[in-house]
Amino acid sequence: MSDNNGAGIVKGAFIGFTLGFMAGAVTALLLTTKTGEELRSDIRRIAKEAVNKVEEKAGMVKNMTKDKYNEIVNSVVSGYKKLKDLTEREIEFIQKVINEQKDIAK
């Protein structure tokens, strides 16, 4: 459950960053004295910058997700190997006990 909470925090921070950036950009544009063409040009430029920043942040989240996935897979594989080794030792022990019981029964 803490993993979901961490993902929620990252997602919230990402959304907050994006909304804050866009609000600041729009405010800056509206408070300047520019012609319509200059304003449209600035809006296009800022939109492209926003897309680039969003893609960059999305890439960071994607990498974090891949890292977490790899961490989980490695943990599962490690646990499987430990369980397999333990099971093999238990099987050997059980076979040894059975063989000893057979020898006693003779």
For 39-94, the pLDDT digits (tens) are 778 778 877 887 888 788 777 777 777 778 888 888 888 888 888 888 888 888 88
pLDDT tens for each residue of 48-58: 887 888 788 77
Find, among 64, 56, 57, the residue nearest to 6 by Cα: 64
Amino acid identity, residue 47? A
**pTM exceeds cut of 0.85:** no
Where do the domains of the chain lie? Answer: 2-75
CA distance 11 to 4: 10
